[in-house]
Amino acid sequence: MDMQASSPGAVGRTWSPPLPEVHGFEHLVVETPGIRTHVAVIGEGEPVVALHGFPMHWWQWRVIAPAIAAQGYRVICPDLRGSGWTESEDPGFHAESQVDDVEAVLDALGIESAFLLCHDMGAISGMQLAYRRPERVRAIVQVSVPPGFMEFTPRVMPAFAHMPALLTHHPGRPLRYLFGPRYAAQPMADSTIDTYLSVHDRPEVERAVTALYRGMVIPVSMRLMRGVYTRMRLHPPMLCVFGQQDGPFAEPIVHRICRNHAEHADRFALAFVEGGAHFLTDDRPDDVVRLSLDWFARAA
């Protein structure tokens, strides 16, 4: 199915706030029941679906997507429900809200299977899709998030330190603290943070913060703690990538919580990047590109 034919709402559309300008991307609106998903697309070839983290949107892939596309892929970057320029009729969230949306976008675009590149919140949807519809995931690269089958330990609890503030978030409360040195090894320019947070001028996005964490992130986190995914088998090849300065997921901790991966996954590997923390896609985008391309090529 032709992508543009699936998205007439993008033609002549005025985006509010204005979309960040990045050369080479086309911007589509994919309409599925109850939601109009903004999707930024670049390149031609085998599909790579890039799922952004929180509080980010498609622009997170502004450097990474063109570099992957240059190697013969078509990179598809949707704004997930409650983020970016996507518009939904239902303000609520449940544990599968975003993965349902992602699968609906794949259906609308006629994509039977794709490579996945996911960060932070986007890794929830990527992981869920890999477990429930493995035939649709050719391989998955998961950035800054451990696999669902990880062995839970109190040593990873600092990774959840931001959640109480987001569970009680009030519209208008600044989110700039999420981009501080605890999460980004390389200081982000104010203009970069402003671009990520500009969409929070949209009431739907601002209201979604608490709903997203209460309805989706916390329930999925509880599944991780209860070991739900340790009782399932992960079939698509998965690479988990971490920054060496991502404290809660320091290399010794990650190796420990993933030590029994052969019992839970068909093919699994870890990679660690110097000079990066949680926001590895901004800290070290070239390394994310290099590792992703290598993993996709080996999986193919």
Q: What pLDDT, in 10s, does the model give residues 99-112?
A: 999 999 999 999 99
The structure tokens listed for 94 are 């449940």
Residue entry with tokens 């063109």? 66
Q: What pLDDT, in 10s, does the model give residues 68-88?
A: 999 999 999 999 999 999 999
Query: For 128-142, what is the mean pLDDT?
Result: 98
Q: What pLDDT, in 10s, does the model give residues 11-38?
A: 557 899 999 999 999 999 999 999 999 9
Is the pLDDT at 250 greater than 70, yes or no? Answer: yes
Please name which of 189, 209, 194, 167 lies closest in space to residue 82, comparing C-alpha atoms.
209
Q: What pLDDT, in 10s, does the model give residues 204-239?
A: 999 999 999 999 999 999 998 899 999 999 999 999
Is the pLDDT at 7 greater than 80, yes or no? Answer: no
**Amino acid 18: pLDDT:** 95
**Whole-angstrom Cα Rg for the chain:** 18
The size of the chain, in residues, is 300
In sequence order, what are the residues at sequence separation of 6 or more whose Cβ sits closer than 8 angstroms to the Cβ of residue 206? 171, 172, 200
Q: What is the mean pLDDT of the chain?
A: 94
Pick the residue with more confidence: 162 or 281? 281
C-beta separation of 231 from 260 below 8 A: no
Helices 97-108 and 121-132: crossing angle, nearest 10°?
A: 70
Please name which of 141, 143, 123, 159 lies closest in space to residue 268, comparing C-alpha atoms.
141
What band does 152 get if pLDDT is binned at 50, 70 and 90?
Answer: confident
C-beta separation of 57 from 239 below 8 A: no
Least reliable range by pLDDT among 6-10, 49-53, 136-140, 262-266: 6-10
Other beta carbons within 10 angstroms of residue 95's beta carbon come to 17
**Amino acid 300: pLDDT:** 84
Other beta carbons within 10 angstroms of residue 89's beta carbon come to 8
**Amino acid 75: pLDDT:** 98
Is the pLDDT at 10 greater than 70, yes or no? Answer: no
**Amino acid 153: pLDDT:** 86
Least reliable range by pLDDT among 103-107, 172-176, 294-298: 172-176
Is the pLDDT at 160 greater than 60, yes or no? Answer: yes
Q: In the chain, pLDDT over 90 holds for what percent of residues?
A: 88
Is the pLDDT at 294 greater than 60, yes or no? Answer: yes
**Amino acid 5: pLDDT:** 38
**Amino acid 3: pLDDT:** 40
